[in-house]
């Protein structure tokens, strides 16, 4: 299919606060919380992880939104943001948390390591954040955003795998588009019972330390073509810029963790054969529409897990390889992933 060059030009003066000229190093001058404690994102490494048997699988309500409803997807100059209906919520947190919006973070074509959170120092290609606010205590997200128990964010790591994706590009300068309702839970991994949990902050100014973070252990997968949409299709150009400016590298660097512990809901060690393809068609198709009005065709959701090949118990965890350690074998666009995951 034919591809044409596209520029999405938007005027967002506040973008200078986020990206330049000094970027996030200058955030704390205007937003003191950005230089404070309990900041996010962080790196999940063995020394700070602590198993918590009370952490239950997450339960979502209202995530399957009828196609007769519509989301608003917006280029806000820093990310792609989709507003979510108040019927979406998380059931089994200390309070009821109602969904407000989701957005993405990514890198660039030369350095496609755009996730905010890392695992044992490893970046992923991108990251999805689904933002909720404490609706038991606060009437809306603007009231909740600076409260210590105000927000709960679900974070999903994204990695690239080889599977088919065809697309058609058409030039436009759309800043906002509508997305037909879909099952937002398709953006989450299959295992909702395995996650990292800690108290942290917003990852953009004003960096309020108001977020209960749930970062899922298992990443979801997209094609290289889908990732390319995020890395090349969106622009954040200012009126005085001599040339269009791509919206890239919209992730914050890893922050110090202040000697806290991260609770984890899992303690397993086994070799699994896993082949996972998660379709995020509705979101990325419409994200491209913000600048391309493009059409994507994706493979359907396919999840297959083989039997554990090896497992054992032990009283104390010895030194272990970085998680996740995996070997990928390619046959065409079929990936067999042999993954090592820890059991304590």
Q: Supply the residues annotated as catalytic.
A: 78
Say how far apart CA 29 and CA 329 lie, in whole Å. Answer: 48
Contacts of 145 (CB under 8 A, 6+ apart): 133, 151, 202, 208, 210
Tokens at 53, concatenated: 């048997």
The residues pairing with 133 across neighbouring beta strands, listed in sequence order, are 98, 151
Burial 89-108 (b: 16+ CB within 10 A, else e): bbeebebbbbbbbbbbbbbb
**Residue 212, C-beta contacts closer than 8 angstroms, at least 6 positions apart:** 93, 149, 151, 152, 153, 197, 199
Cβ atoms of residues 226 and 280 within 8 Å: yes
- In angstroms, rounded to a whole number, what is the distance separating the alpha carbons of residues 268 and 29? 44
Residue 154: closest CA among 118, 209, 207, 100: 100
For 33, 91, 118, 191, 242, the CA distances from 251, given in Å and listed in that order, are: 17, 29, 11, 25, 24
DSSP characters over 124-192: -SEEEEEEEEETTT-SSHHHHTTSTTSEEEEEEEEEE-----EEE------SEEEEE--BGGGGS-S-T
């Amino acid at each position: 299919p034919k591809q044409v060059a596209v520029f999405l030009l938007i005027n967002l003066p506040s973008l200078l606060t986020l990206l330049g000229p000094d970027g996030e190093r200058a955030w704390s001058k205007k937003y003191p919380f950005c230089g404070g404690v309990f900041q996010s994102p962080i790196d999940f490494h063995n020394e700070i992880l602590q198993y918590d048997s009370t952490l239950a699988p997450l339960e979502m309500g209202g995530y399957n939104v009828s196609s007769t409803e519509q989301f608003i997807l917006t280029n806000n100059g820093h990310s792609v943001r989709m507003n979510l209906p108040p019927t979406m919520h998380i059931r089994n947190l200390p309070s009821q948390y109602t969904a407000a919006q989701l957005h993405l973070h990514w890198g660039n074509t030369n350095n496609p390591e755009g996730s905010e959170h890392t695992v044992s120092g490893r970046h992923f290609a991108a990251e999805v954040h689904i933002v909720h606010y404490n609706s038991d205590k606060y009437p809306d997200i603007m009231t909740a955003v600076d409260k210590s128990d105000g927000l709960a964010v679900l974070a999903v790591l994204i990695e690239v795998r080889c599977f088919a994706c065809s697309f058609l590009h058409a030039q436009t300068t759309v800043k906002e588009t509508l997305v037909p309702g879909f099952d937002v839970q398709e953006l989450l991994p299959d295992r909702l019972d395995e996650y990292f949990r800690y108290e942290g902050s917003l990852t953009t100014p004003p960096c309020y330390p108001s977020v209960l973070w749930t970062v899922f252990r298992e990443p979801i997968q997209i094609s290289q073509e889908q990732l390319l949409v995020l890395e090349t299709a969106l622009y954040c150009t200012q009126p005085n810029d001599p040339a269009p400016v791509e919206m890239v590298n919209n992730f914050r660097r890893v922050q110090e963790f202040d000697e806290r512990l991260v609770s984890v809901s899992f303690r397993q060690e086994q070799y699994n054969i896993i082949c996972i393809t998660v379709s995020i068609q509705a979101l990325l198709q419409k994200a491209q529409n913000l600048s391309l009005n493009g059409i994507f065709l994706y493979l359907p959701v396919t999840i297959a897990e083989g039997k554990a090949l090896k497992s054992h118990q032990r009283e104390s965890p010895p030194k272990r390889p970085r998680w996740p350690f995996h070997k990928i074998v390619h046959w065409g666009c079929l990936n067999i992933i042999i993954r090592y995951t820890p059991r304590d």
